[in-house]
Amino acid sequence: MVTITDESLPGSAEEFQNSSLSTTAARNLATTTKTPPQMQGITSRWLLRLLPWVQVSGGTYRVNRRLAYTVGDGRIDFDINGTDASVIPDELRELRALRDFTDTEVLAALGRRFTQHEYAPGELIAEAGTPDDRLVLIVHGRVDRIGAGRYDEETTVTALAGGDHLGDGPLTATGGTWPFSYRAVTRVTVLSLSRQTAREIIDRSPGLREHLASVERNATARRANEAGESAVEVASGHRGEPSLPGTFVDYDATPREYELGVAQTVLRTHSRVGDLYNDPMNQVEEQLKLTIQALRERQEHELINNPEFGLLHHADLRQRVHARSGPPTPDDLDELLATVWKDPGFLLAHPQTIAAIGRECSVRGLYPTAVDFMGHSLPSWRGVPIFPCNKIPVTKERTSSILLLRTGEESQGVVGLHQTGIPDEYEPGLSVRYMGIDDRAIVKYLVSAYFSAAVLVPDALGILEDVQIGQ
């Protein structure tokens, strides 16, 4: 039996005893090289860089437009309890014929008479040419609006989703026929109101009857262009000396006004930190840099998601399109480009949505060209660059949206709003104000950023909604 001791092993402690100063000990006398504090939450913030910023000296920005007639094609919300859905009475005012009708009792009576129906994928909800005898509200699911092509083939005109509606026939005096067919793409839940039921309520309500009659009179009396604006009468192609039409350009009497929003925080540092630990880096400056980065991230988030001025909430309903099959296909991107066809600037999408676009293009053997922007190689579609933005929300169902913008005042596009020259300005539109030292020796600074965004005309912003980004 052989006994092996530590002394007999090669590489024992005695054999490898240091004969010089170790690096571990030497570091006690060395000065380390440090980086400034790093922050993973900093993103490219393309929206802040791409938006042209307009100086708003008075704190409020008014967007004057030509008079436009409200068409009332808004989205309707529902009261959903499990699998049962009912109409919220006031939401019926999103219908064109009921936009200015305020009798809540009559609206409630109409809402109670809607009945719920379910349609399987591929099932027809309405067929072109048949009597338009019911008002259909889409509660959930996806519906294709189908028209006849030039060679009698079926053509999908657009896709509809929850909140949209089909037909106003029951609310008009004379019935017509469905101009399009409507087919369920997924399982669809709808609420419908028959013409007979609607006429019963209309006959019992003189106020509703008079309101609907006035809507029809005004619709035939006023003239509008294809954008819904009051028409400008112009004669062309005439010979001789005919009487030329007189005209004027009418303005919207109640223009939209945007007030600057604010993002604020209070930066607190102990005076002891600033007194003793400012070498080699100024502690307050480093704290301030990271605080401003976080504030700018919140600013971009608000420009997209804020209910008062965020782009996702203030795109015109006619500028919203739905993905036809779920994922963002080339067909969907083409339809989105058609909403901002006058000089589109750029697309904005979540990084995961951009990956989904790439997958759909690869499946079809398409390879979108890359464009160079400020030294960055970016994907594009039809020459329009696609910029990543992680502030666009992704729902728990793994759906998101894609934004298309035209920017600038000269182009009647989307603009950012801020005010420069404010007191204690640290960056354009951002101030750092000293607030003093409290009784705990805490130094406070108020950091404020003032900003907003405005869509000058509706066709400057388009949104492709509810695109699926999962595999």
- What percent of the chain has pLDDT above 90? 39
Helix (H) or strand (E) holding 296: helix 283-305
Q: How far is CA 45 from CA 41, 48, 263, 360, 371, in A?
A: 11, 6, 16, 26, 18
DSSP code at position 131: B
Q: Residue 219: pLDDT band by 50, 70, 90 thresholds?
A: low
Distance CA 432, CA 444 (A): 10
359, 406 Cβ separation under 8 angstroms = no
**What's the token pair of residue 166?**
């089909």
The counts of H helices and E strands in the chain are: 10, 25
Q: Are strands 256-259 and 60-63 parallel, antiparallel or unpaired?
A: antiparallel
Angle between helices 351-363 and 330-339 (to 10 degrees): 120
Using an 8 Å Cβ cutoff, are 393 and 400 in contact? yes
pLDDT in tens, 87-140: 888 888 888 788 778 888 888 888 888 999 989 888 999 888 888 888 899 988
Dihedral of the alpha carbons of 348, 354, 356, 361, in degrees to the nearest 10: 100
Q: Which comes out higher in pLDDT, residue 176 or 334? A: 334
pLDDT at 144 over 80: yes
pLDDT confidence bin for 470, thresholds 50/70/90: confident
CA 175 centroid distance within chain: 37
Q: How far is Cα 377 from Cα 354, in angstroms, rounded to an integer?
A: 14
Q: Which helix (H) or strand (E) holds 143?
A: strand 143-148
Band of the pLDDT at 304, cuts 50, 70, 90? very high
CA distances from 284 to 132, 340, 402, 434, 440 (A): 69, 45, 39, 12, 17
Give the whole-angstrom CA distance, residue 44 versus residue 52. Answer: 17
How many Å apart are CA 416 and CA 431, to the nearest integer? 18
Place of tokens 């728990």: 396
Helical axes 195-204 vs 206-221, angle rounded to 10°: 110
Domain 78-221: CATH superfamily is Jelly Rolls (2.60.120.10)
Which helix (H) or strand (E) segment holds residue 275: the answer is helix 271-276
The pLDDT assigned to 255 comes to 84
Where does the pLDDT of residue 298 fall: very low under 50, low under 70, confident under 90, or very high at 90 and above? very high
Please count the other Cβ atoms lying within 10 Å of the Cβ belonging to residue 196: 10
Structure confidence at residue 188 as a pLDDT band (50, 70, 90):
confident
Mean pLDDT of 398-406: 94
Predicted confidence (pLDDT) per residue in 271-284, tens digit:
998 888 888 888 88
List, by residue range, all CATH 2.60.120.10 domains of the chain. 78-221
Residues 52-66: pLDDT tens digits?
999 999 889 998 887
3-state secondary structure of 207: helix
pLDDT of 246 strictly over 70: no
Tens digits of residue pLDDT in 353-362: 999 999 999 9
pLDDT at 325: 81
SS (H, E, C) 334-382: HHHHHHCCCCCCEEEECHHHHHHHHHHHHHCCCCCCEEEECCEEEEEEC
